[in-house]
Structure 1
Amino acid sequence: MRRMVRFEALDAWRGICALLVVLFHFCFIFASPLMDARLVANAYLFVDFFFVLSGFVVSHAYRDRLHDAESWVGFVIRRFGRLWPLHAALLAAFVAFVGLANLLPHPDRLALSWGPGEYSAVAIPLHLMLLNAVNLHGMAWNAPSWSIGAEFYTYLFFGAVCLLARGRLALVAGVIALACVVLLACVSPTYMNSTADFGLFRCMAGFFTGVVAYHVHERLAQAPMRPSVTGTLVEGVTVALVVLFVVKAGRGPDAVAAISLGAPAVFAAAVLVFAREAGQVSRLLRGAPFAALGRWSYSIYMGHQIVLMVAVYGVWLANRRFGFGREIEVMIEGHAKTLYDLGGVVPSFALLAVILGVVIALAAFTYSRIEEPARRAFNGYARRREDRIGRAQAPASRA
């Protein structure tokens, strides 16, 4: 049986990318000099790193365990338990926060509605069913969770492909990934910034590219690589190339270039390099601080939006009472954006530091109190179910 490996450096990159997504969302709510940094303005692309890495590690963990309908059900139970409990808990927190805010004076952006809108009651059941990336409603509630809905249904599809493709999984995965990229090129006006509209296809493009990358990694891993100067150089060049790609992929989320469609391939190359852990960059990433960020990455990604919205409400109240944090309208690549101007670089970065600290602290809490208990509970249920089925089949096989 193939030995399960923990890709520690890749886990750390997941945490770093989650923090970059936090910076991206901060800059489109609060005026900040970071808005001028193209790496931050295009940081929505790091969601595609999550998708590629997910395809890579899920292939590693489950490809050889999916052999019939029963194993597919067990896989779905485990992946549902990995994603849905935290999503549901944070959605409930969002509903409670916005509902309470609507009983008090509140900014227009936090207004509840019964139709279209960011905080629409209609969107709640869609989010609970993880149907938030198939163009049934625009971005709503915990906006980053569109990717979780897309990923869950991609898991279901991956399991089915494993059962049907058998020994041709890499080929089929490559065809699926390429087809999804072509589809996005043809129908998505924002290319790789597709979210609640064509987000499912964006996820599948990245995930199945990750599946192909895992098969390539298997071949490369037959020749062990020790940490070396060459490995460090390769890792450094890889980081530089990823940064260059993200910087050149557009001018923010409303001016996305067609080159952004190359994100799955670029991130797959980075995953292949850092899966080998052959350089000093990987050694640094395996350190305790980065390892913690990797563990908390899902909670960082899922929990940061509610922290940002609480900050919005606080700044809005401060403006009403003290005149601090006025709303301004700025044009970004021809698109009007309403931002909160905190009055300078120092207060902007001070607020960002507070938000990052709260996001990380909240992530540590939700990881230990929601993510891990739920994962263990669902994994335990799936294991007990498989044991019952195994015991029931044993007499029949002996007969």
Structure 2
Amino acid sequence: MSDRPELKALTGARGIAAWLVVLFHLRFMMPGMGGPQGWLSQAYLAVDFFFVLSGFVIWLTWGERLRQAGPAGIPEFLKRRIARVWPLHAVMLGVAMLFAVALIVAGRPDMPQYPPAELPLHFLLIQNWGLTGRLTWNVPAWSISCELAAYLVFPWLVMTADWRRWPSWALLAAMTGLAAALWAIFTALGATVLGNLIERYGVVRCLAEFGIGTIACALWLRWRDRPMAPALGCVAVGAALLGGHALGLVPQILAMPLVFAALVLTLALSSGMRGNVLEWTPVHYLGEISYATYLGHWILWMAFKLAVVPAGGMGWPMALGFLAIVLGASVALYHLVERPAQRWINGRPMPFRRTGTASI
């Protein structure tokens, strides 16, 4: 699909981020990790890392190709993005439906988290476009719904914003402006952290951070041949923002999108360097199966918690057992569902393709 080499450090980081989300959802049932001040209480921010990373990777893979192909390239782009995210989402939505039926059979008919009326929205992946008031069914799919909105906006962004022609200072200003706009909007709506207002305004959060990721990629493309100084600069900026946030000087909503942009840039600039632990084969593989981990763990956790976990929480042996189940399910979903479905859809010809038009 692309002649660009993979930045393996980014793939490895994606795997770690997916497992942070898993642990975030388990935290109240795991020893020593619960409570608002637990070390995992901020792990939901891994989703914001995903949004920035997604903008980076999509710009890297598709920015120039869409610019060259023009509007004619949009259907192929959207087909490949839908092939990437929708099949596994549909399978996990089906699993969630079976779980809801099992709960009814078991005598638990009151299930507000599984509303049948919202199923069409989830099937179309538009459930988080301000159309619902709560997170339901396979909860992590809310961010995939937002990603779909970003995919629809992306071709327009490519056609109107040629980051190649912007000087670096202007790109940095645009990145900061997007973070500031997100902070201003969320503050006006009464939000204090990025985790607020997910149901109604998750799309806003995603689009801003996705846009920041595209700018980060444009900067990487011009800095990659001399990576050391920019990487050190990114580390310094990220550390300063984190320090400012810790001291209460920089609000989280403003700081973290820029921190993640600095992190993604640092990882990209250091990708391929000798001894990079994120490129170690097992870590890289966790990144390869990370989408299956992210989408697959929630319903597994709901069933496991209901069937096995006592009311007082679980000890480490039980917790590690569940994590092993998630890992096994991720491997199976990746190899048996995600990749085969992606290959099958990508292999289908686009209808009404003009004769002589090159496939992109």
TM-score computed with the length of structure 2 as normaliser: 0.85
The CA distance in 1 between the partners of 2:16 and 2:270, in whole Å, is 17
Q: Aligned in 2, Cα 1:111/1:248: closer, same or farther, shift over 3 Å?
A: farther
Alpha carbons 1:53, 1:210 under 8 Å: kept: yes
Over the matched positions of the two proteins, sequence identity in percent amounts to: 31
Written as runs of structure 1 = structure 2, the 5 A alignment for 1:291-330 is 291-315=284-308, 325-326=310-311
Residues 31-180 of structure 1 mapped to structure 2, 5 A cutoff: 32-35=31-34, 38-67=38-67, 68-106=70-108, 111-112=110-111, 117-137=112-132, 138-166=134-162, 174=175, 178-180=180-182
Distance 1:243 1:365, change over 3 A: farther
* Corresponding residue for residue 184 of structure 2: 182
SS in 2 for 1:304: helix
**Alpha-carbon distance, 1:5 to partner:** 2.2
Q: Distance in 2 between matches of 1:135 and 1:310?
A: 28
| TM-score, reference length from structure 1 | 0.77
Q: For structure 2, list consecutive stretches of 5 or more residues without a partner in the other structure.
A: none
Residue 354 of structure 1 is matched in structure 2 by 321
Contact 1:184–1:201 (CA<8 Å) still a contact in 2? no
Note the 1:183-332 alignment, pairs <5 A: 183-193=185-195, 194-223=197-226, 241=239, 248=246, 258-277=251-270, 283-315=276-308, 325-326=310-311
Q: Assess, with a 3 A threshold, how the Cα gap between structure 1 residues 15 and 167 changes in structure 2: closer, same or farther.
A: closer
Cα pair distance change 1:293/1:222, threshold 3 Å: same
* Mean Cα deviation higher: 2-11 or 134-143: 2-11
| Contact preservation (8 Å) 1:213, 1:268 | yes
CA shift for structure 1 position 361: 0.8
| Distance (Å, rounded) in 1 between the aligned partners of 2:278 and 2:30 | 31
Write the distance in 2 (CA, Å) between the matches of 1:148 and 1:235.
32
Give CA-to-partner distance per residue, 1:93-147, whole Å, 9 cap, x none.
01101211210144xxx833xxxx3111122111111122223221001111100
Q: Alignment length, in residue pairs? A: 345
Please tell me whether the aligned partners of residues 180 and 254 of structure 2 are also in contact (alpha carbons under 8 angstroms): no
The structure with the largest alpha-carbon Rg is 1
Distance 1:203 1:352, change over 3 A: same
- Give how far 1:276 is off: 1.7
Cα distance, 1:165 vs structure 2: 3.1
SS in 1 for 2:194: helix
Q: 1:40 to 1:154 in 2, by over 3 A?
A: same
Task: Give the superposed CA RMSD.
Answer: 3.3
Conserved in 1, the CA contact under 8 Å of 2:21 and 2:43? yes
Indicate whether 1:377 and 2:344 are aligned.
yes
Question: Secondary structure of 1:136's partner?
Answer: coil
Secondary structure of 1:72 counterpart: helix
Match of 1:397 in 2: none
Gaps of 5+ in 1: 251-256, 317-324, 327-340, 394-399
Hey, what's the Cα distance between the residues in 2 that align with 1:360 and 1:265? 31
| Other-structure match for 1:254 | none
Counterpart CA distance in 2 for 1:365 and 1:202 is 31
Do 2:125 and 2:148's aligned partners in 1 also have CA atoms closer than 8 Å? yes
Matched residue SS, 1:192: coil
